[in-house]
Structure 1
């Protein structure tokens, strides 16, 4: 029975990833009301560090890396780290292993990334060149 549980988990991951891909490939967040707008931007008019991420993911699935970079460069640069960490988590969940992505356990990385996100948040809201290039454009 342990093998059937493993296959169920793999199937579940594939189905969820497929649905995620289909939704983001099919529906353009710029043109579809299906996606929730950023509450921070809606209330304040300022861009949070995540603003533009939905449109960037849509463009990444369509192969437009430069377009995605225009919407949220920090998120585009962070995706490889997140995919690797998520991959390790999924492998651990399916196979019952306990591998760790040591970067996520480093205080220097955690605090450094948090500081980078805060700096990015402030800079992308300065309406002066070159900082305005960090704001989502489309």
Structure 2
């Protein structure tokens, strides 16, 4: 095999790695930005539209403050602000890592993220979390 063919394959593999590396770079930029500009101070970020309209917390309420806490290496505070977001981090890291490994192995991208039953279960968990965090006994889930 010629070195030109090997070099071309290496360039193709690098090109295929650009999307997962781009996601990692974007995630790092978000953490850097939110870690620098404190969401606990009013006026830096818009209010959650659902919270503004209804006075109730959506499943994402507290996520900016969770990211800020994680950027400042305070996972306990982050867990108290949005436990669902914290629970999702290992899954997101797993899926991203699987994407990178499959790309490095030259395996084709999967067109499905997970089995539909798992996705429906996740939607169910989000819906239950959404309701429970707005009930009096679920106040510990509120940001």
Q: TM-score range by the shorter chain?
A: 0.7 to 0.9
1:64 paired residue among 69, 74, 86 = 74
- What is the TM-score with the length of structure 2 in the denominator? 0.74
Name the structure 1 match of 2:94: 84
Can you list the C-alpha shifts for 1:76-96, whole angstroms capped at 9, x where unaligned? 011110121123334555765
Q: Where in structure 2 are there 5+ consecutive unaligned residues? A: 1-7
Provide the residue aligned with 1:135 in structure 2.
142
Counterpart mapping for 1:38-117 below 5 A: 38-92=48-102, 96-98=106-108, 104-117=113-126
Which SS does the other structure have where 2:99 is aligned? helix
Contact (CA 8 Å) 2:103, 2:109: kept in 1 or not?
Answer: no
**Which has the larger displacement, 27-36 or 1-10?**
1-10
RMSD across aligned C-alpha pairs, in angstroms? 2.8
Larger Rg: 2
SS of the residue corresponding to residue 22 of structure 1 reads helix
Partner Cα separation in structure 2 for residue 2 and residue 13 of structure 1: 22
Asked if the contact 2:38–2:68 (Cα under 8 Å) also holds between the matched residues in 1, the reply is yes
Among 11, 26, 46, the alignment partner of 1:36 is: 46
Question: Which of 113, 118, 121 pairs up with 2:130?
Answer: 121
Tell me if the contact between 2:57 and 2:133 (Cα under 8 Å) persists in the aligned partners: yes
| CA–CA separation in structure 1 for the residues paired with 2:109 and 2:34 | 30
Where does the alignment leave 5 or more consecutive residues of structure 1 unmatched? none
Query: How far did 1:98 drift?
Result: 2.8
